[in-house]
Amino acid sequence: MGFNFKIEGKLINLITTIWSDLADYERWNSEDLKAHQFDGPWYKRKDPPLSAVINWRKRWLEGDRKPPYPFLEIETKDNIHIGWVTIYYHEDDPHMTEIGIDITEDSYWGKGMGTEALYLWIDYLFNERKFTRLGFGTWEGNKAMTRVGEKLGFIEEARIRKSCEVNGVFYDRIKMGILRSEWKENKKHGV
Ligand SMILES: CC(C)(COP(=O)(O)OP(=O)(O)OC[C@H]1O[C@@H](n2cnc3c(N)ncnc32)[C@H](O)[C@@H]1OP(=O)(O)O)[C@@H](O)C(=O)NCCC(=O)NCCS
């Protein structure tokens, strides 16, 4: 169960994690990676940035790997592993579920792949699960992520001013969200 699940897009596929993906995660588990300068760069981590993510992948691979999937890998159409999509879900608070995306191979940025990957992921989540809304948190320094959110119909729901410090400068955190009903309506008009 779960070994061959794949959602096919035009630019990328979303696909279940396999053990050999962990070598890529280990390679990406470095503070120097450009993606980590955009994804929560204010966190004062004790461990390398992807250590918790790698442990989560291992636990999942050792488990029963049943759907619905809490994360999927992003690969190009020629099967290059370039990142992942995920949810941050708590059983006791399901309607505050957040989604996440990382394209860790930065040479693939700016080609529409992030937008397509999140489109497919959101559609999968609304189809497979009963979420009334999905949201994500980012910050004003991450223009690509806020733009991807806008392109997919998310609206800014909250701005927590000057709440994260990056290289001595204080930035606003931004919370964006979309309701199931909005997603359905936007899809009719070709989000
Ligand atoms: C955020 C991320 C997923 C976007 O993926 P992507 O494949 O580059 O996204 P797309 O190409 O689909 O779209 C990016 C959009 O942002 C815009 N953009 C990028 N950098 C920008 C900047 N500095 N200022 C304004 N717009 C910018 C692009 O022009 C494009 O918009 P357009 O289609 O209207 O031209 C990717 O950059 C990434 O993984 N970053 C590192 C990890 C991260 O930040 N994850 C999110 C944490 S909240």
Q: Is the CB of 138 under 6 A from ligand 1?
A: yes
Closest CA to 17 of 52, 48, 50, 56: 56
Every domain of the chain and the residues it spans: 6-188
Q: From first to last of the 191 residues of the chain, give the pLDDT tens digit.
A: 446 899 999 999 999 999 999 999 999 999 999 999 999 999 988 899 999 999 999 999 999 999 999 999 999 999 999 999 999 999 899 889 999 999 999 999 999 999 999 999 999 999 999 999 999 999 999 999 999 999 999 999 999 999 999 999 999 999 999 999 999 999 998 88
Q: 142 CA to middle of ligand 1, Å?
A: 8
From the alpha carbon of 38, which atom of ligand 1 is closest? 44
Locus of tokens 């709440």: 163
Instruction: For domain 6-188, give the CATH superfamily.
Output: Gcn5-related N-acetyltransferase (GNAT) (3.40.630.30)
The CB of 105 under 6 Å from ligand 1? The reply is no
